[in-house]
Amino acid sequence: MPKVFQFAPTGQSHRHLEAAGCEVVLGKKEWHDPTRNSEADVAAAATGADALAGTSMRQAPITRRVMEAAPDLRIVAKASVGVDDVDVDAATEMGILVTHAPVESNWGNIAEVTVTFMLALLKGVNDQDAVIKAGGWWPEGSLGRYVGSRKADGYAGVTLGIIGLGRIGMRVAQLLRPWNITILACDPYIDDYRFLEAGAIPTDLETLLRTSDVMTLHVVLTKETRHMIGAEQFAMMKRNAYFVNTSRGECVDEAAMCEAVETGVIAGVGLNAFEVEPIAPNSPLRRLGDKVLLRPHGGTPSAAQGSQPAGRGEGQNTDWVNTDVLRALHGEVPIHVYNKAAIPAWLKRFGGKSLL
């Protein structure tokens, strides 16, 4: 039986692999603890595996050491859009395929979370809710607060700045386009027509930061984007502006962000991603009150989740993972390969060689 190591299990999706004839080893919850170094334990569990699969596990990433523990490893299959917790360069060098799951239930949900953050921050929902629950009514000073430019009809016209116009950034723009607000977008890696599709005005990052009332970040984590938003960028923003990050925590200098919020350089933030996940008990983010909105990294349940037949995954993303794993075990190239440069070497090693 081929061995599949689910380093970060996704519900009962492993039952489908077991039914297909695989031996499945499940990862442990403590590997997600940011205070631990679990690389050795993960490598030990991966020993002799033919496939690795799972959702995100940033505190115990799939490193070269982990993959070297499995000399016949064919695939690392992720149930997430991002693969930043996998050493993709090492996998490609070793002839191992890395697959991911850019399904709508992943990126579409994150876009909706982004809009939720934006509206909750702009409308002061968090502090209003807290005041009413504490026995009050209007939070002090809230009646005089607004964001945007006053128009003739008295409405505050908001300018939204989208950094990264990929799947998620594009969906955010599409969701907000009917609101008839000004949408700016910065993305040097997409074609011009994408801005037209989004109804967004293309601009550079500095102009976007200085002009926007709300900024949302939607970039992948690379050497280029690590800490791309820091003290210098926060200083460019309006003092009443809000910043939303639903991409990757490492793209933002978290210490600089907390200082910017605490000292009033910006009005507040909404975060779905953090440099260390989960955040530490003494994280400055926990003492910033209604200036911040925080939720665990991830989207929200979709209609596809929880509606699968028994033994299947919890959504389209886990079904994609299972399909990719089984194809690789059959000696076939999976559909959702991220590191396509590894395919030629992979075919020489595993092409047409089925383990099932």
* Catalytic residue (choose from 14, 16, 100, 297): 297
DSSP string, 64-105: HHHHHT-TT--EEEESSS--TTB-HHHHHHHT-EEE----HH
Q: Which two tokens stand for residue 110?
A: 């994150």
Helix, strand, or coil here: 220?
coil
User: Does the annotation count 227 as an active-site position?
Assistant: no
Q: Quick check: 201 and 195 in contact, CB under 8 A?
A: yes
Of these residues, 171, 194, 248, 336, which one is catalytic? 248
For residue 150, indicate whether it is catalytic. no
Question: Residue 306 carries which side chain, given as an amino acid letter?
Answer: G
Among 18, 104, 197, 277, the one annotated catalytic: 277
Return the residue matching tokens 């523990």: 69
The answer for residues whose C-beta is within 8 angstroms of residue 234's C-beta and 6 or more apart is: 243, 256, 257, 260, 265, 266
Give the single-character DSSP code of 178: G
- Dist CA 337 CA 35 (whole Å): 32
Nearest by Cα to 324 from 167, 43, 103: 103
- The two beta strands, 75-78 and 51-54, are parallel
Active site residues: 248, 277, 297
